[in-house]
Amino acid sequence: MQTTTVHNFTMTYDEQGQGQPILFIHGYPLSRMLWEPQLTGLADIARVLVPDLPGHGESQAIPGPYWMEDLADDVKVFLDNLGVSEPVVICGLSMGGYVAMAFYRMHAARMRALILAATRPGADSEEARANRDKAAEQARREGVITVVEAMLPKILAPETYQQQPELVDYVRRMMLSTSTEGAVGDLMGMKERPDSTDTLKEILLPTLILHGEDDQIIPPKEAEGMHRLIVNSRLELIPGAGHLLNLEQPDKFNNAVRSFLEQV
């Protein structure tokens, strides 16, 4: 574990390996713990960089809302601090994907390739926005634990949830390491995030789209839609995986990333 100062907060991160930098951005309400199988499983072919976003894991919390553009800028400063000047492969899962799309809008020249995992391009519907408000209110009133317990059964594939109690416990611990300020900051930022559909139409970078077949948070049809929009994209649907496909099926996920990295 290492730390670096990004703007006004201390960011915690892990780093392993050498060569092509690949930066993994976690989702909500998660942390760099999400990427443990990638940190250990891909370090032989790349320089794997895994930060905690503000208010998540062991990074300091700052007042929200956390706009996707601000999170993308935090990630850019993180790369600057580490002296990473060559183009990076950016992989974002779910909210991390929203941040990756914002990063592309702001810093495309810093990117070599893109990996979008369990994410979607659209902005929130009215119903989704109202649900963000409810979740934020609940987190403020009762702490993140209520939000975590409600989300936990849906964030993994039903099969994973029933058959892998240790993984369920790992995910619970990761989610509970999110501060209330961090969770509320995400919710308020995601609620106002822009529609990235037009961004996807402009992306010429090699792009890998990965999605769990049993994702109950973001349906796989979102991945199929993104594949149609991004000209240079490859789509892989991962069986036996829900929203946290890289944790649920680490070998399949890492193999897909490996063969993609060989090509870029």
Smallest gap from residue 113 Cβ to ligand MLT (A) = 21
By CB under 6 A, the count of residues binding ligand MLT is: 6
Binding to ligand MLT by residue 33, rule CB under 6 A? no
- The distance in angstroms from the start CA to the end CA of the chain is 29
Q: Which of 5, 30, 12, 22 is nearest to 186 (CA)?
A: 30
106-145: contacts with ligand MLT (CB under 6 A): none
**Single residue of 13, 28, 67, 78 touching ligand MLT by CB under 6 A:** 28
Side-by-side strand order, sheet with 2-6 = 2-6, 9-16, 47-51, 21-25, 88-93, 111-117, 207-212, 233-238
By beta-carbon proximity to ligand MLT, the closer residue of 121 and 206 is 121
Of the candidates 264, 205, 262, 236, which has an alpha carbon nearest to the alpha carbon of residue 42? 262
**Least Å from the CB of residue 116 to ligand MLT:** 12
In the complex with ligand MLT, the residue whose CB is nearer, 129 or 234, is 129
CB atoms within 10 A of CB 30: 28
Tokens for 151?
């989300």
**Residue with Cβ nearer ligand MLT (28 or 35):** 28
Min. distance of Cβ 243 from ligand MLT in angstroms? 6
247 binds ligand MLT (CB under 6 A): no
67 touching ligand MLT, by CB under 6 A: no
CB of 263 to ligand MLT, least distance (A): 27
With CB under 6 A as the contact rule, the residue among 27, 121, 212, 242 that binds ligand MLT is: 27
Nearer to ligand MLT, 21 or 27 (CB): 27
Q: Does 217 bind ligand MLT (CB under 6 A)?
A: yes
Binding flags for ligand MLT, 88-107, as an x/- string (CB under 6 A): ------xx------------
Residue 68 CB, nearest approach to ligand MLT (Å): 11
In 4-86, which ranges are continuous DSSP H helix?
36-41, 68-81
- Compute how many other C-beta atoms are within 10 angstroms of the C-beta atom of residue 219: 12
Question: What phi-psi label fits residue 220: left (phi over 0), alpha (psi between -120 and 50 degrees) or beta?
Answer: alpha
Phi-psi region of 118 (alpha: psi -120 to 50; beta: other; left: phi over 0): left
- Please give the residue ranges that form the binding site for ligand MLT (CB under 6 A): 27-28, 94-95, 190, 217
